């Protein structure tokens, strides 16, 4: 979570897009046998011990009157299962490098407390720990992604955590797990070795962290489980390409399952702007920052290609999303913000970028899942609502594990104060049943856009559509009007002899399905 600067778009691989003003945007889809599968883990989420994400969000305790399963809210579990979240990252974030996992196991009343120095200076009572999180992931039917403590932890501590969660034989840690009520291991696959090592994870240099990574990774063994574990390096802060270069150069590929990248869409780190009361100029600046993701993925990917041409190492954008000022009257350390149509457009355009770079991007984690930053769920005591971002991720779930259909087109321009952005964003895929899905975003806040797609050679004839839009860019779902923004049927297209003619309204997200 760090300051970034805005720079221009760069394009690559399957998203060869140039800009031109024209009345109709011609989108071409390619049926490419060599195209990658869009890894479902691109649609992952993030839950940090931050504000009301865990406590008052996921976790209310088993004595709460809010319906729960072992303290975890049933309504949140149902909503996230409906979203088909493939993985969930925990316990941080910056919190991860002050977290000692043994503080969060055993009888709750015996667990020590700490102060959450990163987020509000509140007391962390460790009532939500390893068993609580991993059991919750089982309820969600999702893969856990654990971030290990490198900044203030030890090699032995992280090695013990792997053994505690994954080893079924007799050992000190598996015996301790059984003593605490869990006989069978959870078999956690994804392991982050530290978080933001360049900042809150220790203010390390890339060279120093590469050595620390090698040391920690060496002792994280999981010889019992097929395929072992995926060890993930703490990646760069946005456009710090040297960080990626140093890690790829100095860490053996057989020790490296993935490298992270963190990037937030921010107007200005010193003056982020309101989450709801924003101008079109502020919206434009947010999208300018968000769409920088194209350049970041491209350039980091090019560096990784130098050392890993077979693309065995995954790129994980394990923190992304919009970041604004907190809602008025809320704790500034809790990062609670509303979620408007701006966030829906941001999510749709960002996911299109990830889809189009599925050859390298194989996991991403929206920050964060509940009540923090660009959340998909907000709660207020017993009340719970889903946000526009939730609905975008829900209609985009059709791309999970589907084969990418590379797209190419010339985007019209969206212009504000003499600056321009591409107005149209797109990605497409073909699922295992042969259904075609095309995701379209109109970034333009004022003008509709006409799009034409030739689908004659795709083997589908009948199309349906879903749209997320609203009357105002600043509209959002509140606890009083929880369904102001929801997916609705999209009728703004015609199939004329194998050519889809589409008119997409301003600031809207559309998914078309062809069967």
Catalytic positions: 196, 319
Preceding peptide of 151 cis, ω within 30°: no
The residue written with tokens 């490296």 in the block is 256
DSSP-assigned letters across all residues of 19-74: E---SEEEEEE---TTPPB--GGGGEEE--SSTTSTBTTTB--TT-SS-EETTEEH
DSSP 375: -
Neighbouring residues of 283: CB distance < 8 A, sequence distance ≥ 6: 342, 445, 473
Distance CA 429, CA 64 (A): 43
In this structure, the strands spanning 87-90 and 72-73 are: unpaired
Give SS3 for 342: helix
Which residue in the block uniquely carries the two structure tokens 């200005």? 268
Q: Distance from CA of residue 15 to its chain's centroid?
A: 20
Provide the CB-side half-sphere exposure for 468 (13 A, CA): 34
Whether the CB-CB separation of 322 and 286 falls below 8 Å is answered with yes
User: Contact 384/370 with Cβ under 8 angstroms?
Assistant: no
Q: How far apart are the first and last CA of the chain?
A: 42
Report the alpha-carbon distance of residue 149 to residue 426 in Å, rounded.
Answer: 38
* CB 207 within 8 Å of CB 250: yes
Which residue, among 343, 391, 385, has the nearest Cα to 367 in the 3D structure?
Answer: 343
Structure token pair of residue 375: 């959340």
Query: To 5 degrees, how large is the angle CA 296–CA 190–CA 370?
Result: 75
Alpha-carbon span 173 to 171, nearest angstrom: 6
Q: What residues have CB less than 8 Å from 324, skipping those under 6 apart?
A: 267, 272, 273, 274, 275, 278, 337
**Beta pairing partners, 16:** 408
Residues 351 and 440: their CA atoms lie apart, in Å, by 11
- Sign of the C-alpha dihedral computed for residues 277, 282, 287 and 289 taken in this order: negative
Q: How many CB atoms lie within 10 A of CB 32?
A: 12
Pairing state between β 424-430 and 436-442: antiparallel
């Amino acid at each position: 979570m760090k300051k970034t600067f805005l720079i221009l778009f760069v394009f690559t691989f399957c998203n060869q897009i140039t800009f031109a003003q024209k009345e109709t945007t011609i989108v071409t889809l390619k049926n490419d046998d060599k195209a990658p599968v869009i890894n479902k883990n691109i649609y992952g989420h993030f839950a940090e011990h931050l504000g009301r994400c865990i406590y008052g969000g996921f976790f209310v305790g088993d004595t709460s009157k809010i319906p729960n399963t072992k303290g975890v809210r049933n309504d949140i579990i149902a909503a996230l299962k409906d979203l088909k979240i493939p993985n969930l990252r925990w316990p941080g974030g910056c919190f991860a490098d002050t977290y000692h996992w043994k503080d969060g196991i055993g009888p709750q009343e015996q667990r020590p407390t700490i102060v959450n120095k990163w987020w509000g200076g509140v007391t962390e009572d460790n009532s939500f720990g390893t068993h609580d999180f991993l059991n919750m992931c089982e309820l969600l039917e999702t893969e856990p992604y654990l971030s290990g403590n490198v900044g203030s932890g030890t090699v032995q501590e992280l090695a013990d955590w792997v053994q505690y969660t994954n080893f079924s034989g007799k050992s000190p840690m598996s015996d301790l797990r059984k003593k605490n009520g869990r006989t069978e291991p959870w078999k956690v696959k994804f392991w982050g070795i530290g978080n933001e090592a360049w900042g809150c994870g220790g203010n390390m240099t890339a060279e120093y962290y590469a050595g620390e990574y090698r040391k920690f990774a060496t002792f994280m063994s999981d010889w019992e489980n097929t395929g072992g574990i995926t060890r993930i390096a703490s990646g760069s802060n946005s456009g710090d390409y040297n960080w990626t270069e140093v890690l790829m150069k100095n860490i053996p590929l057989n020790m490296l399952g993935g490298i992270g990248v963190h990037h937030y869409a921010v107007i200005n780190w010193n003056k982020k702007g309101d989450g709801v009361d924003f101008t079109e100029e502020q919206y434009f600046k947010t999208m300018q920052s968000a769409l920088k993701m194209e350049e970041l993925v491209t350039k980091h990917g090019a560096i990784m290609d130098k050392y890993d041409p077979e693309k065995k190492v995954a790129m994980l954008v394990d923190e992304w999303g919009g970041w604004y000022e907190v809602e008025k009257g809320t704790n500034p350390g809790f990062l609670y913000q509303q979620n408007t149509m701006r966030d829906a457009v941001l999510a749709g355009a960002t996911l299109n970028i990830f889809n189009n770079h599925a050859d390298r991007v194989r996991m991403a984690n929206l920050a964060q899942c509940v009540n923090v930053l660009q959340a998909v769920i907000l709660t207020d005591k017993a009340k719970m609502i889903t946000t526009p971002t939730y609905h975008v991720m829900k209609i985009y779930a059709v791309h999970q594990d589907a084969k990418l259909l590379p797209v190419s087109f010339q985007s019209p321009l969206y212009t504000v104060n003499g600056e321009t952005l591409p107005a149209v964003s797109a990605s497409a895929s073909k699922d295992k049943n042969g259904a075609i899905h095309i995701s379209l975003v109109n970034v333009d806040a004022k003008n509709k856009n006409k799009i034409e797609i030739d689908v004659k050679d795709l083997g589908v004839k009948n199309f349906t559509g879903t749209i997320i839009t609203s009357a105002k860019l600043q509209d959002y779902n509140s606890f009083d009007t929880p369904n102001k923004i929801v997916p609705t049927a999209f009728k703004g297209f015609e199939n004329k002899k194998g050519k889809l003619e589409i008119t997409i309204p301003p600031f809207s997200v559309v998914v078309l399905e062809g069967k």
